[in-house]
Structure 1
Amino acid sequence: MIIFSWSLPGFAVNAIEPNVIHWAGCGITKKAFMAELAAAYEAKTGIKVDLQGGGATRGIRDTAKLKIDLGGTCRMSLPDVDKVEMHSSLHPVAWDALAIIVNKKNGISQLTTQQVKDIYKGKITNWKQVGGRNAPIELYVRDGKISGVGYAIRQYLFQDSDEDFVSDRVVKSSGPLEKAVEKRPNAIGITGVSSARKRDVKIIGFDGKTPTYENVKDGKYGLYRPLYLVTSPSPSKLVKSFIDYAQSEEGKEILRKNETVPYSDALNLMRKMLIYGFDVR
């Protein structure tokens, strides 16, 4: 699936640096496949892919504004929020699960949908309420409502992209959230499983399932979403070449070795995107 739209006037970045593709966006996308994919592409072609962060929103909007050549996002474009997002094309590359993470010292191994919702709404505030020790729950959340993870949590758990979470531990990106869970025994948060696997945290089950490669691929784990590469509606030949590489069998094998499910390996997962899409408010 590719979402097409109109382009904004401007000049592609790689017109200035013809042997470099400038990428920015979602840190989870970077950890899921971009770092390994970029390294393999450079080794194969000699074309460097310069990787920056900035989040899903930057990945979409900076690409639409032609500030970068290529973006990464773990959410769909939201033109209702900012019309500039209409001026981008999203190319699905992989599937990622949302992982519920706690500190490794936490004895909890599973939570249900209702328990997670109640934690995010401030109805469950102590670990003993879900079978754990008598200690306050420290919920870490992303700021804003349109980050890739924050938007997905709202859509999947609450079917409301405007849902407010009850927490005073608000961070700017997934990195600080994951680091806080590593350090604080009572912490909990949600992040991408591709990123969580590379942290010293405990990934717990959700409704009896854990976000293993096979559970994500088969749709048995309930929280998943596509990961996209973002281009302008008229990308350069260099950018098109990288997109083709990412979606090729060679590119998909790099994803699989990184325990990330290629998009085309699990097209059946699209059935749940009605919950994740624009029609849910």
Structure 2
Amino acid sequence: MLLSFASGLNASSTERAPPAAKGSLYVGGTGAATGILKILVKAYERHHPLVKTVVYPSLGSGGGVKALVADKLTVSFSSRELKEEELQRGLIATRLFRTPLVIATHPAIEISAITSDQVANILSGEMTHWGNGALARPVLRPLKDADTQILMDMSDNLRQAMLTAHKRTGKNVAATDSDAADDLASIKGAIGVTSLILLRAENRRINILRLDGVAPTLKNLNSGKYPIGKTIYAIEKPTNSALANSFLTYLQTDEARAIIVKYGGIVGDY
């Protein structure tokens, strides 16, 4: 279920400033959006200095929805569409942006590209070391996680390799997007998936790879040349507070959209 933000402003209009908002704004959810949310709320605060904002550390998409329902968040952000039981609560998911899902390694792994077959071989254990002799150490996400599902949907080979990886003893499973990025930056030999906007917004020093010869750029994702990306949704209640509506309206402005594009998100129709 995808609906537009309810507001009196045109999505591309910033000519008429909305009334100044005030109060406490609490946002959070998927770790893929945490970094960009911190940047966006600072920009929002410049227009609304009476608003105090809090961006929670990665709660996960499901955790963010639960926090929204429990009135712990003003607006939640998710890397998946709403489930049926969440829709039955009247929650609304709106596409905010799409970002490339990237294959990345620890910065000490000095390679610039990888093939999907090589990723599968690392996951299955057929390839155990990098060219420099370092142990290849996959950073997995939970099997039901959106990033895992996106990778598995690329091919039957990757699906089987991922299932095999999750059966291996001593596997490393990062619970959140932020945990995965931490592991990729700190574990020598690490390889895993993360999102471009997370890496850019948080200024993460991780080695981003071309996949099957294609760089994970916005242009390549938008054209379909780059095969994998993830969508971030804003989740709202059917009866929003004035502050929630104010922030959701800001996310439609040219200023907010330019920020999202700068850090690695595609906005608008795609």
The TM-score range, normalised by the shorter chain, is 0.7 to 0.9
1:149 aligns with 2:147: yes
RMSD: 2.6
Structure-1-length-normalised TM-score? 0.76
Residue 199 of structure 2 corresponds to: 196
Q: Is there any run of 5+ residues in structure 2 with no aligned partner, and where?
A: 5-21
2:55 and 2:149 mapped to 1: Cα distance? 23
> Could you say which structure has the greater relative contact order, defined with CA pairs below 8 angstroms and 6 or more residues apart?
2
Q: 1:59 aligns with which of 64, 68, 80?
A: 64
Q: Which moved more, 1:87-96 or 1:210-219?
A: 210-219
Partner of 1:217: 222
Counterpart-to-counterpart distance in 1, 2:240 and 2:144: 25
Change in CA separation of 1:259 and 1:149 when aligned onto 2, cut-off 3 Å: same
Match of 1:279? none
Task: Give matches, 1:161-200, under 5 Å.
Answer: 164=163, 166-167=165-166, 168-197=171-200, 198-200=203-205
Check 1:243–1:155 CA distance in 2 against 1; reply closer, same or farther (3 A cut): farther
For 2:118 and 2:87, locate their aligned partners in 1 and report how far apart those are by CA, in whole Å. 34
Aligned equivalents of 2:80, 2:153: Cα separation in 1: 11
Distance in 1 (CA, whole Å) between partners of 2:245 and 2:164 is 39
Identity, % of aligned positions: 21
**TM-score normalised over the length of structure 2:** 0.78
Of 29, 34, 46, which aligns to 2:33? 29
Mapped to 2, the partners of 1:243 and 1:203 lie a distance apart of 31
Deviation string 1:171-192 (CA, Å, 9 cap, x unpaired) is 2222232222223331111111
* 1:14-44 Cα deviation digits (max 9, x unpaired): xxxx61121121121122x311111111110
- What residue in structure 2 maps to residue 276 of structure 1? none
SS at match of 1:221: coil
Name the CA shift for 1:145/1:234 in 2 (closer, same or farther; >3 Å): farther
Superposed CA deviations along residues 145-190 of structure 1, whole A, max 9, x for unmatched, are 3434234333445597xx6351511122222322222233311111
1:126 aligned residue: 128
The 5-angstrom pairing of residues 53-132 of structure 1 reads: 53=57, 54-79=59-84, 83-84=85-86, 86-87=88-89, 88-120=91-123, 122-127=124-129, 132=131
- In structure 2, C-alpha distance between the alignment counterparts of 1:118 and 1:232, rounded to whole Å: 43
Choose which of 248, 257, 264 in structure 1 pairs with 2:262: 257
Q: Structure 1 156/52 Cα, relative in aligned 2: closer, same or farther at 3 Å? A: farther
Aligned residues: 242
Shift of 1:138: 0.5
